[in-house]
Amino acid sequence: MSSISSNPKTVEEIFKDYSSRRSGVVRALTHDVDEFYNLCDPEKENLCLYGHPNETWEVNLPAEEVPPELPEPALGINFARDGMNRRDWLSLVAVHSDCWLLSVAFFFGTRLNQNERKRLFSMINELPTAFEIVAERKHVKEKPTADSGSKSRGSTKKSSDSQAKGTPKLADESYPEEEEHGETLCGSCGGNYSADEFWIGCDICERWFHGKCVKITPAKAESIKQYKCPSCSLKRSRVQ
């Protein structure tokens, strides 16, 4: 790999480095996609896609030094090229590239403090991922609601007009502090609440559920006007 030096230290410098490397990767997978595709010859050795801090990209062999100067991209992206649909292959490369971009950013951010790392990730999260661009998926940003954090776990009444209209309750909107709902159990599996998992509340019985237990993703929840858990949906169908 040809070396292009970069040693960012502040949040802004690391974000700029991330953005520039990301621009190079995205260019390879979109504007320069035909050139990139041809360079990834399955007959060659393990190849990697590098994004550089000057917004250029490069397909090359991995670094020879051990350990490498920076985290390395996914090896052998060329081997799967002819065995997959072109679009699917490009999406796969994009996913691995997103992982690499984050690993490089947080490699540089190792010496940042907690608040600085949080700010760095927030800045990064404002940008669509390479995968979202290649797969042409919409980059959804969560919009804070006026009543965020105002609902209590034990309440049996709707706490806002938006809920009265049937807006599904999301766990991160309802409980700003994990201590307040440490005893909340999933109505499906009985598991305890965890702040790093997506939860959704039933607008009928007021119980909470892991999104994965009721097969609801954050993206799907955005299109649900009033969420009814499986039990409440079954009861309603029996009444009808």
- Are 127 and 206 part of one and the same domain? no
**% of the chain exceeding 90 in pLDDT:** 48
Grade residue 141 by pLDDT with cuts at 50, 70 and 90. low
- Are 105 and 218 part of one and the same domain? no
Of 221 and 195, the structure prediction assigns the larger pLDDT to 221
- pLDDT of the residue at 5: 58
Q: Domain range spanning residue 198?
A: 185-239
- pLDDT of the residue at 138: 65
- What global pTM score does this model have? 0.58
Total structural domains within the chain:
2
* Residue that terminates a domain, selected from 136, 171, 202: 136
Q: What is the pLDDT of residues 166-189, one digit of tens each?
A: 445 555 444 444 444 556 788 888
**Closest by Cα among 173, 147, 174, 171 to 161:** 147
The CATH number of residue 235's host domain is: 3.30.40.10
Q: Is residue 177 part of a domain?
A: no
Q: Is residue 170 part of a domain?
A: no
**Res. 218: pLDDT tops 80:** yes
**Closest by Cα among 191, 195, 158 to 180:** 195
Q: What is the pLDDT of residues 112-129, one digit of tens each?
A: 999 999 999 999 999 999
Peptide bond preceding 67: is omega within 30 degrees of 0, i.e. cis? Answer: yes
**Res. 67: pLDDT tops 90:** no
